[in-house]
Structure 1
Amino acid sequence: MDEVGPERRRNGSNKRPRLEDVAARVGVSTASVSLVLRGVPGPSERTRQRVLKAAADLGYQVDRTASTLASRRSRLLGVMIDVHSPFHAELVEHLHTAAEEVGYDLVLSTQTRTRDEHTAVETLLAFRSEALILLGPTAPADTLVSLDRKAPVIVVGRRIADGELDVVRSADDEGVGLLVDHMVGLGHRAIAHIDGGKGVISTDRRRGYRTAMRRHGLDAHIRVLRGDNTEAAGERAARQLLDSGDLPTAVVAYNDQCAIGVLAALQRAGVAVPGEVSVAGYDDDTLSRLSCFNLTTVSQGAREQARYAVAAAVERLDQDRVEPSEVVLTPELVLRGTIAEPRDG
């Protein structure tokens, strides 16, 4: 499809229309045209309509690079993500929408098995990101606080002690507690937890499991297996349970990816889910919703987290807010097909 404006087609020219061309067409100053195209108050409504029509007729497009250099503002929010996380991918989708609504765009930098957080963040700063939205960072809090002196930092998904940074998260300990409460209500007692390894998020979810088990008087049934945030960790932990000869009736995994690994290992061993063992994850990511998994899980509210994170960045950048804020969202239990009453219940 030919996207060249009508005027350019008639002239047979490939020259890109300039701001001056729009101004000449309307008979106003380039300053007035700039105000209209940037949505800044000032020009009359009649002038605004004439400028917009002339720009459309000429096929004029705003030169983002030139405008950001002129304003010394990039209007870019840097986002660090774990490239292997389906939940982070969903967060980024919602972050894009929220940022566009307030006139910002995103720069993404990935954390991988061979690319650490420091490198990812330095890339975001190199691209002139005005604020940094870090998804589930594992760096020490004092490192993140130092980074906040270079650009406003908004931490998503992780608790930061002492309230020194902007944080948007769900109450992870409460979320795991919801799973344990529901399982106990169905009659489960032998409920195991596969944790997420080191880090604040894993610590909070593990604490939520222990607290809930004790609340129900199930101290003797507390069973924590080492894991991480991958399917492979879930498979390893499930094999450990199988080899022990003492299968629990239910398993709460650190996240959905870990839970999917548990499902795979149990299926290969011929253990019925949820007939013999109930399984739950955490995050409500896109994989958990697939019919082949139909995984019971906990939703962190990805859309809400994204909106609050962008709002926090804009408040820091455009409204001169100095004091850090913390938004803690209430997690929601999402019941699907991998939990049932225990067979002997």
Structure 2
Amino acid sequence: MAPTSKTNRVTIKTVAADAGVSVAAVSKVLRDAYGVSDALRARVQASMEKLNYRPHAGARAMRGRTYTLGILLPDMRNPFFADILAGVNEALERTQYQTMIGVSRSAETIEMSLIDSMIDRQMDGLIMIGPRMPPETAEAVSTRIPTAVVGYHVPQLATLDTANNDDVAGAAQVVRHLATNGYRRITMVTLAVPTKNVVVTVQRERGYREAMKERGLAQHINIVPADQTAREVQTAVRHLLESRHRPEALFCWTDMVALHALSVAKDLGLSVPGDLAIVGYDNTIYCDLAQNSLTSVDQSGQVLGLQAARLLIERIDGRQQGDHFVVSPRLVVRGSSRPRPS
């Protein structure tokens, strides 16, 4: 079968003729305009499906919207990002919006290059997840394109919206849980990034420090940074677990780090939690597997994604003031942090 030529492309006029309505009516359905009846919408959508009609992105941009949203991820390996994307998709289910994903590899230069490309392609809005850029850069981006950010603490900015977990509270819950279960030498494994209060790891480090002091464990405060690669994380954890004053518990800034810690502990012949307690953050799907049984902080990734998409569409629709949604974390206790043997 020969490919359809440009002259045979199904147009808005073709859809209108098939549905027996005006071109203006089809246009209203495409724009999700106010006042379109359910019957008219169903009639037009049936014709579009029958004719395999696809709106022309360039033409939609000329009319004001492309109904395309950009999503900027730090990487594709962290399963927590899948939870966020599931929430975004849920929020967009009954809309015309489609998403396109860019992966920055946690590099600020790549972030900016991807954002420029998304703007060049006339996307209507942008969702950034855990960006590495400073607040002034994020603010500058939000003046160019409607922006919502997940995992980025900038409640003072009015030009963009955020959806966050209370990272300080989540980290404090971990320390209190471990201390209650008899652990004193609690070490935090964090991400090696320049200190920026907007970054979730800095917020979690703050919660860890405050809770350690609250529990009278200030002398045991130990925060160990590691790059995000598996090799760097495993090297840092191995060094800790082979040291003379081995920690009694590890609080890992994300589940991916905690899973690497479990692997290193097993390789060294250590029992979890007999010799070492391990707690992660995100409560991803791998925590509940029997071989992991990983205690973790649930920060409701799907809710964060859903709220970020909601906030972005509201911003696209004209809201001017900033909206900063915060979800309360919840510690999910499993076998990796059972009470310390007496």
Instruction: Please indicate the TM-score interval, normalised by the length of the shorter structure.
Output: 0.7 to 0.9
After superposition, give the CA deviation of every residue in 1:3-51 in whole Å (9 maximum; x if it has no partner).
Answer: xxxxxxxxxxx95554444444555433334445655456777666665
Alignment of 1:62-81 (within 5 A): 62-65=54-57, 68-81=60-73
How big is the shift at 1:110?
A: 0.8
Q: Is the 2:58–2:66 Cα contact (8 Å) retained in structure 1?
A: no
Matches within 5 A, 1:292-311: 292-311=291-310
Alignment partner of 2:336: what SS? Answer: coil
Radius of gyration: which is bigger?
Answer: 1
- Give the equivalent residue in structure 1 for 2:221: 222
Offset at residue 270 of structure 1 (A)? 0.2
Please give the residue correspondences for 1:259-278 in structure 2 after superposition, counting only pairs within 5 Å: 259-278=258-277
Q: Distance in 1 between matches of 2:309 and 2:122?
A: 17
For residues 176 and 118 of structure 2, the distance between their equivalents in structure 1, rounded to whole angstroms, comes to: 41
Give 3-state SS (helix, strand or coil) of 1:195's partner. strand
Q: Cα RMSD (Å) of the superposition?
A: 2.7
1:209 maps to 208
Q: Secondary structure at the match of 1:180?
A: helix
Q: How do residues 1-345 of structure 1 correspond to structure 2 at under 5 angstroms?
A: 17-25=10-18, 27-36=20-29, 40=33, 58-65=50-57, 68-83=60-75, 84-112=77-105, 116-160=110-154, 162-164=156-158, 165-198=160-193, 199=196, 200-318=199-317, 320-344=318-342
**Equivalents in 1 of 2:222, 2:12: separation in Å?**
67
- Report the 3-state secondary structure (helix = DSSP H, G, I; strand = E; otherwise coil) of the residue aligned with 1:226: strand
Q: Distance in 1 between matches of 2:321 and 2:35?
A: 33
- Match of 1:187, as an amino acid? G
Summarize the Cα distance change of 1:238–1:67 in structure 2 as closer, same or farther, 3 Å threshold. same
Report % sequence identity.
29
Matched residue type, 1:86? P
Q: Structure 1 residues 325 and 50 mapped into 2: Cα distance closer, same or farther (>3 Å)?
A: closer
Task: State the alpha-carbon separation in 2 of the partners of residues 321 and 44 from structure 1.
Answer: 26
Contact 1:174–1:331 (CA under 8 A) maintained in structure 2: yes
Unmatched runs of 5 consecutive residues or more in structure 1: 1-13
Cα offset, 1:172, TM superposition: 0.6
Q: CA deviation at 1:60?
A: 4.5
Asked whether the equivalents of residues 17 and 59 of structure 1 are also in contact (C-alpha less than 8 Å), the reply is: yes
Change over 3 Å in CA distance of 1:71–1:209 after alignment to 2:
same
Return the letter of the residue paired with 1:196: L
Residue in 1 aligned with 2:4?
Answer: none
Q: Is the 8 A contact 1:287 1:293 kept in 2?
A: yes
Higher-RCO chain (CA-CA 8 Å, sequence separation at least 6): 2
Report Cα offsets for 1:39-71 as digits up to 9, x if no partner: 545677766666555556x53524343651452
Letter in 2 for 1:329: V
When residues 309 and 279 of structure 1 are mapped into structure 2, their CA distance, relative to the original with a 3 A threshold, is same
Match of 1:246, SS state, is: coil
C-alpha displacement at 1:305, in angstroms? Answer: 0.7
User: In 2, are the aligned partners of 1:231 and 1:262 still within 8 Å (CA)?
Assistant: no
How many angstroms apart in 2 are the aligned matches of 1:44 and 1:298? 45
Q: 1:159 to 1:66 in 2, by over 3 A?
A: closer
C-alpha change, 1:192 and 1:122, in structure 2 (3 Å) is same
Residue 337 (structure 1) shift: 2.2
Would the aligned equivalents of 1:157 and 1:169 in 2 still touch at CA under 8 Å? yes
Structure-2-length-normalised TM-score: 0.86
Q: How many residues align?
A: 330
Q: Do the aligned residues in 1 keep the contact of 2:83 with 2:305 (CA within 8 Å)?
A: no
Counterparts of 1:259 and 1:189, CA distance in 2: 18
How far apart in 2 are the matches of 1:252 and 1:87?
17
Show CA shifts across 1:68-90 (max 9, x none): 14523112221100223222233
In structure 2, list runs of 5 or more residues that go unmatched.
1-6
